[in-house]
Amino acid sequence: MSIARRRTSRRALVASSAALLTVLGGAAPALAATAPAIVQAPLGHHGGGVLRSTSSNWAGYAATGGKFTSVSASWVQPSVSCSGSDTWSSFWVGIDGDGSNSVEQLGTEADCSGGSPVYSSWYEMYPAYPVNFSNSVRPGDRFTASVTTNGSGSFTLTLSDTTQGWKRSVNKTLRSAALASAEVIAEAPSSSTGVLPLSNFGTVGFSGATANGQSLSAAGASSITMASGSTTKATTSGLSGGGAFSVTWKHS
């Protein structure tokens, strides 16, 4: 069974390369202060009986149908193949966004700007704008990320680059958080005009993925394929060992 739907996007980006500031010395780009707010409307859950669904901007796994207070996973930062076009991709773990208006996420970015790759990391507590970390991100770095909450509005978002040896942990409050889903996702970020072209990241592998302290399989997570109309943009593999899978780029 396939349900086509757009998930709440992670990024509030301008749909042009002007949204990215010039990168000097390998520093991560910052979002423009005037970046438009996310305008995509989240469209409903997929129920427990749905084993597979599609999204215009997400590929990966999402668990729904309960209250979610933690999510975690590891991945290796992929490299992107850049041509003349500006493209975007992100890899993250998060709570909410699938059928809810709140978003608590963090992860990494792999974009192409002016024909060159740009790598960065970030967190987001939507409806606030996303915030970039200043740490360097390199292809091949291994990342571990988690989002946890006490269930009453307090969140801890942690991202570690175990290759370079840095770690960022942020404590935030969002009392309106729905706690309606948990996800491990590769995304085509969006602007106010819609979903942006997806960077060619090849294949990204996620491992050790959990929701509420259980493997994704035990948590009943559903697989998501990224597609726009008849065009498949990214495919998601089955789960191995309950919490490992890969997402493969197919089309921008």
Task: Dump pLDDT digits (tens) for 41-93.
Answer: 232 222 233 345 999 999 999 999 999 999 999 999 999 999 989 999 999 99
| Alpha-carbon span 238 to 226, nearest angstrom | 15
* pLDDT at 10 > cutoff 70: no
Strand partners, 170: 157
Torsions phi, psi for 19 (to 5 deg): -70, -20
Task: Read off the pLDDT of residues 170-207 as tens digits, 9 standing for 90 and up.
Answer: 999 999 999 999 999 999 999 888 999 999 999 999 99
Q: Which two tokens stand for residue 113?
A: 């700007």
Torsions phi, psi for 17 (to 5 deg): -65, -15
- Longest distance between any two alpha carbons in the chain, whole Å: 49
Task: Read off the pLDDT of residues 232-247 as tens digits, 9 standing for 90 and up.
Answer: 999 999 999 999 999 9
The model's confidence at residue 21, banded by pLDDT at 50, 70 and 90, is very low
Nearest alpha-carbon partner for 120 in 80, 61, 170, 62: 80
Q: What is the pLDDT of residue 192?
A: 86
Cβ proximity of 53 and 222 under 8 Å? yes
Q: What is the pLDDT of residue 99?
A: 84
- Quote the mean pLDDT of the chain: 84
Percent of the chain beyond pLDDT 70?
79
Positions of E strands within 26-115: 52-55, 58-64, 70-76, 90-95, 103-113
Average pLDDT of 118-144? Answer: 96
Q: What is the pLDDT of residue 183?
A: 98
Average pLDDT of 23-50? Answer: 30
The model's confidence at residue 8, banded by pLDDT at 50, 70 and 90, is low
Q: What is the pLDDT of residue 42?
A: 30
Cβ proximity of 245 and 220 under 8 Å? no
* pLDDT at 13 > cutoff 90: no
242: helix, strand or coil? coil
